[in-house]
Each structure stands twice: as C-alpha cells, then as structure tokens.
Amino acid sequence: MPRLTIPNPFNLHTDERGHDKERQLEAQLLQKKLEEEKARKFKANPYPYTTDYPVVPPKPEPKPCTRAEGFQLESLVRHEVEQQRLMEERERMEREEAQRRIVRAQPILKEDPIPLPQKERKPLTEVQQFELHVDERAVQRSEFDNKVKEKEITYKRLREENEFAQKIEEEKALKQLRRTLVPQARPLPKFDRPFRPQRSKKQVTRPKSPQLQVNERGARRHPFMR
C-alpha cells in the first residue's frame, strides 16, 4: 500500500533574517515613541543658586513706528524711460510729417540741368588687316600631312624592296636545297612473316547475380505488383 507523505518542517535563512529585521524595526519604533513621550513632559529650568538679587535689565526706549516706503524697481525706471523715448519719437515723426505737408513750389529752371555733350569730329576708323591663328594652323597642318604622306610612301617602298629581296633569297635557298637533296625510296614490307590471328587464352566471362533486394514493406503494401 502507498504511504502518505508526511511533510517535515524546515527553516530558511530568509525567514530568520526577516524576523530579525522585524524585531529591529519594533525596537526602533518603541525607542522613538519613548523619546516623544519624554519630550512632551514640561521641565522648567531651575532657579540659579545665588544670594544676590537678580539684575533686572532696563526697559528699552520705545522706537518710532516703521513707515512704509515705495519700492524703486528697475523695471519701473526702464518702463518710464521707454515711455519717454516713445513719446519723443512720436513727436519727432509728427513734426516731420507736418514739414512734409507744407507745399513748396519748385523753382523755375533757367538752364538745362543735364547738358548734352558736344559732338566731336573725329576721323573715321581705318580698318586694318588682321591675321587669324586658324590660317597659320591650316598651313602647318598641310605641311604635317605632306610629311606624313612622304614617310608612308618611303616606308611602303622600303617594305616592298625588303619583300622582293626576301622572296629572291627564298627562291635561291629552295633551288640550292633541291640540288642538295637526294631522293630515297620507301622500303618494301616484309612478306616472309605474315600476320596470323591466334585464339585468346583468357577464360570466358561468367555472369554474376546483382543480388537485388526487394523491400518487404513495399511488397506487403502492393501484393499485386509482383
């Protein structure tokens, strides 16, 4: 028969630390409460132990009442200065506007304010012949093209002369080679040892089974495919 599990109590360090914290907090609260109660109790200062009479200080002379004075704020001073400046600016603009409204007639011009310049009699401009760099470059280009054509003709003539000389040299070499060569006839084949095919001495190849394995699971699934 299965037995019931009986739990055994166990202690954790966290529980012990928690209980210690609670006890410390309770002690602190109790100490604070006792200090507050002790502070509530009134305790007069004792009379000084002396045979002399206490010295009574003289009564101070009464002072005059304090009179309220207005504050001198810098913002108020700046405001007054700005208002004064605006008022002066407005008066100046009004004076200028009044001066501009006064109608004043323009004086009669007796002489032309913008006199026209007098015409000067200069001789006509003489046209001089000018030279363009295009013409100079055209002459230089034509000279350059002529030199290039002359070089091409010279190189072509030298190339043809070299080819002709090389062809003559090749013909001379070929004639000399033909004179030195000696004709040699091809040798006849040997008929005393004719080729006779012989039977091979190797054994006949025997076939071997590939040993194909049939999947039994597939055979059970598809019995009609055999």
Q: Is position 56 within any domain?
A: no
CA dist 132 and 137 (Å) reads 9
What pLDDT, on the 0 to 100 scale, is given for residue 4? 82
What pLDDT, on the 0 to 100 scale, is given for residue 171? 93
DSSP state of 97: H
CA 135 from chain centre, in angstroms, equals: 55
Contact 216, 209 (CB under 8 A): no
Residues 6+ apart with CB under 8 A from 226: 219
Q: Is position 160 within any domain?
A: yes
Q: Is position 27 within any domain?
A: no
Q: Is position 207 within any domain?
A: no
What pLDDT, on the 0 to 100 scale, is given for residue 52? 64
Query: Token pair for residue 76?
Result: 């108020």
Cα 89–Cα 94–Cα 100 angle in degrees, nearest 5:
125
* Diameter over CA atoms, the chain: 177
Q: Is position 154 within any domain?
A: yes
Q: How many structural domains are present in the chain?
A: 1
pLDDT in tens, the chain (226 residues): 778 888 887 778 888 899 999 999 999 999 999 999 988 888 877 766 665 666 677 888 888 888 888 778 888 889 999 999 999 999 999 999 998 888 887 777 777 667 777 777 888 888 888 788 888 899 999 999 999 999 999 999 999 999 999 999 999 999 888 888 777 778 887 777 777 888 888 888 898 888 777 666 666 666 555 4
What pLDDT, on the 0 to 100 scale, is given for residue 121? 80
HEC profile for 109-120? CCCCCCCCCCCC
- The residue range of the domain holding 172 is 133-180
What pLDDT, on the 0 to 100 scale, is given for residue 116? 75
Place of tokens 């001073």: 77
Residues 6+ apart with CB under 8 A from 219: 225, 226
Q: Is position 189 within any domain?
A: no
CA 191 from chain centre, in angstroms, equals: 92
Q: Is position 150 within any domain?
A: yes
Q: Is position 104 within any domain?
A: no
